[in-house]
Amino acid sequence: MPEQPSILIIENDRTLVVALRDAMAAAGFQVLTAASGEEGLAAAREHRPDLITLDLMLGELTGLDVLRELRRDPEWGKLVPVIILTSVPYLQNMEETKKLAEKIMAKSDFEIPELIDAIRNLLSAPPAMPIGSTPD
Amino acid sequence: MLHTRPMPFLKKLWYNYALSNLPLKPGSLGYSRTLFINIFSAIGFCVELSFGLLNLNSGYFSAAAVEIGAASVMFANLMALRHHGKINAAARLLLVASAAPLMTMLLTNTPYNTGIFWLPAFPIAAYLILGKRQGSTALLILMLVIGTMSLFESLQLVDLAYSYVSIRQMIISLLILAVLMYVHENLREQGLQLAEERAIAFRAAYQKVRQTEKARDEFTATLAHELRNSFVAIQKLAETWRSQLNTITPKKSREYIDLIHQSSTDNLGTINSLLDIVNIEQATFTVNKRLGSLRDIIRQQVGLFTPQAEQAGVTLDVVFDDEIPWQLPIDTFRIKEVLANLISNAIKHTARGNTATVQAIKAVNADHLFERAKELKLKWFMSPEDPKLHGLKDFVWLGVSHAEAGLHREDIPKLFKKFSRLQPKDQLHPPQGHGLGLYIIRRIIESHSGTYGVASRASQGVTFYVTLPVEEPSPKITHA
């Protein structure tokens, strides 16, 4: 792990991206951002961040699509911690999303410090943890 | 599963004959049928009455009563037909009159089955007191009673060896009963069919209400989510800003301010559109047409949107036909709203580096519109086959054309509807714009007696347009 862990924010609301980007940078992370699923997937593969925060409502390629694609990667993508940051009180594929992501947070009531704590927790956890078994 | 069947001929006949209140036109099929039944009833009336009088003369009081009763029924039919189903006062009077011989028999204590003649008084009273519907039922019961009685009597007459009278009466009785059965069966089926049709109509109406309700609920939920997300983002940005107040650079502050401003403006736009919809749905929505300049409106709106277009990397262009009259009968405020919606949609859906063009043409008809467009070298996506342009006379066409790949052909009919938006295949796909603007445009343009529409060419671009009449089409100025 490098000295400054890198975070990739995949989110299409520009205002929220900037808020998270700068708050995370202030907390000592290296931050990458992507505004769509396609862009996010490309950035993830290229830069291999230490953690990804992912929105579900993204466009043609949804957050869940991105997540599935990532987990298909046998090495890095399978293990990279993903925090889902979503507003959709959705029922579709909830089980699958829960299984594939480390943590799900609701956009409507989350605090930035809470998100940063969650990121720190996930980053300090043993790196080779089996997916889906992390206690919150 | 309910289904509609075509009404059989006889049923239709009965419908025309007894239930329809519609006035029939001479020469129509219904009229001929009614005429036929009229003649039939008239003959029946004469025959029954004469037999009745004959019987009365001979002292067969009960038989006479039956004949006169039947005659009065015929006459009632005749009157009902003349007045297309409405039993009028004369017919009622006759029905009462038909009860009179029965009463006479009762009062004079005629030795023959007298008690039973009380019965017809009830349906007649029902007719008079309850009116047509229950009266009809009463009439049927009366006929049933008369028919049955008559049949019994004819059997008794056989015993008494009045063979001629008995056979004739038996035939009449059976006829009455047969007609009765037919009528009853018909009425029942007709009732069923009517119920069926009503059920179908009701179901369809209910379905429609449900669909609208569902669309509205989904729409409200999505909109509420979008607004909440946007406000959460603004809130988070403010928090981030607050946490680094002492260290923040002016450049970053500027970025924050711009983002907050943009998000707030978008949200305000959404809320304004929502209020507009509420307004449009209520009676308070009015269009006040006065003479106004389209040229000024376009100039002003393009000016207003230029900064936003520049920010999005979109060039905003205008092609204005000099043939357009200086003054048009329009609600300036509302037409500004229409153009603002068209332009802001175009900016949102035009890719960076492309151009969105506001175009306005005066034409006398659809063909002329395309000629003028050619002369003005318009780059647009209109099709001469567009049915919305046919039949237009002396109008101004106003549209915004821009390159866009994203408009699916199957989405086009959904545009301009109240609670529909493009694209969301499921909850996870964000909608493209909230689709309120187009509905508002539609309502405003409809109030101007104009048309509206969208034309697109696959993977090239789209033209959203409206047309406005050059002259006021009716003396009505304000539309609700």
pLDDT digits (tens), chain B, 480 positions = 344 455 555 555 555 444 444 445 555 555 555 555 666 667 777 777 777 788 777 777 777 777 777 777 667 666 655 554 444 444 445 555 555 555 555 555 554 444 444 445 555 555 555 555 556 666 666 667 777 777 777 777 666 656 666 666 677 777 777 777 777 666 677 777 777 888 888 888 888 888 888 877 777 777 888 888 899 999 999 999 999 888 889 999 999 999 999 889 888 888 887 887 777 777 667 788 888 899 999 999 999 889 888 888 899 999 999 889 888 999 988 899 899 989 988 888 888 888 999 999 999 988 999 999 999 888 888 888 888 888 888 999 999 998 875 566 656 666 666 555 443 433 333 344 556 778 888 888 888 889 988 888 877 888 999 999 988 655 544 444
- B 223-282 near A (Cβ less than 8 A): 225, 228-230, 232-234, 236-237, 239-240, 243-244, 252, 255-256, 259-260, 262-263
| Alpha helix ranges (H) inside B83-162 | 89-107, 121-130, 132-159
- For residue B428, what is the nearest residue in chain A, using CA coordinates? A57
| CB nearest to A15's CB, from B225, B259, B428 | B259
Contact B428 A92 (CB under 8 A): yes
Q: What is the pLDDT of residue B431?
A: 41
Taking only Cα atoms into account, the Rg of chain A, rounded to an integer number of angstroms, comes to: 13
CA dist., res. A33 & res. A10, Å (int)? 6
**A13 interaction partners in chain B (CB closer than 8 Å):** 229-230, 233
ipTM of the complex: 0.85
Q: What is the pLDDT of residue B253?
A: 92
Query: Does A55 score more than 80 pLDDT?
Result: yes
pLDDT tier for residue A1 given thresholds of 50, 70 and 90:
very low
Count interface pairs A-B at CB distance under 8 A: 77
Q: What is the pLDDT of residue B316?
A: 92
Q: How many angstroms away from the CA of B227 is the closest CA of chain A? A: 11
Q: What is the pLDDT of residue A42?
A: 92
Q: Which of B218, B232, B234, B245 to mutate to test the interface with A (most CBs of A within 10 A)?
A: B232
Q: CB-based burial of residue B163 (10 Å sphere; 0-12 exposed, 13-18 middle, 19+ buried)? A: exposed
In the structure encoding, which two tokens stand for residue B257, read together?
Answer: 């301010």
Contact B239 A18 (CB under 8 A): no
Q: What is the pLDDT of residue B422?
A: 40
Q: Return the axis-axis angle of helices B250-281 and A14-26, rounded to nearest 10°.
A: 150
Q: What is the pLDDT of residue A77?
A: 81
Q: Does B406 touch chain A (CB under 8 A)?
A: no
In the structure encoding, which two tokens stand for residue B95, read together?
Answer: 């029905």
Percent of the residues in chain A that have a pLDDT greater than 70, as a whole number: 87
Burial A73-99 (b: 16+ CB within 10 A, else e): eeeebeebbbbbbbbbeeeebeeebee
Q: Does B428 touch chain A (CB under 8 A)?
A: yes
Contact B234 A64 (CB under 8 A): no
Pairing of strands B290-292, B328-330: antiparallel
Q: Does B408 touch chain A (CB under 8 A)?
A: no
Do B295 and B454 meet the contact criterion of CB atoms below 8 Å apart?
no
Q: Does B129 touch chain A (CB under 8 A)?
A: no
Residue with tokens 């946007």: B230
**B240 interaction partners in chain A (CB closer than 8 Å):** 18-20, 22-23, 26, 112
Q: CB-based burial of residue A126 (10 Å sphere; 0-12 exposed, 13-18 middle, 19+ buried)? A: exposed
